[in-house]
């Protein structure tokens, strides 16, 4: 294998609920992935490694493909930096310093 895949990477926004402490809380992750299954797998992996959650305790509500320019997630901005620059920059609102 040459390390290249046939599918181009896309940006996905995964939202759901998970037990953080004694309550279930909503979460949202923006991840680059080849398809929606790989994006969900990445979220399960992230929640499991960071918060020691089991897959069965995480409830995925939506899986949406997004325009990378609308995300503020550093991994999305880094992965799609050439695409974003070619299209004129991000569409996400910029936080203003006080």
pTM of the model: 0.81
> What's the confidence (pLDDT) of residue 88?
82
How large is the average pLDDT for residues 5-28? Answer: 89
Q: Extract the tokens encoding 4.
A: 């290249």
- Cα–Cα distance for residue pair 14/44, rounded to 1 Å: 10
Sorted by where each starts, the structural domains of the chain and their CATH numbers stand as 10-86 (3.10.20.10)
Residue located via tokens 């992996």:
45
Is residue 30 a contact partner of residue 76, using CB atoms and an 8 Å limit? yes
Model confidence over 64-94: pLDDT tens digits? 999 999 999 999 999 999 988 888 887 756 5
């Amino acid at each position: 294998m040459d390390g290249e895949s046939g599918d181009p990477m896309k940006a996905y926004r995964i939202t759901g609920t998970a037990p953080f402490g004694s309550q279930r809380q909503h979460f949202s992750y923006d991840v680059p992935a080849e398809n929606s299954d790989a994006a969900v797998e990445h979220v399960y992996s992230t929640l499991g490694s960071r918060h020691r959650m089991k897959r069965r305790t995480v409830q995925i509500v939506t899986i949406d493909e997004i325009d990378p320019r609308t995300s503020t997630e550093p991994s999305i901005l880094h992965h799609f930096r050439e695409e974003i620059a070619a299209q004129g920059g991000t569409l996400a609102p910029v936080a203003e310093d006080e």
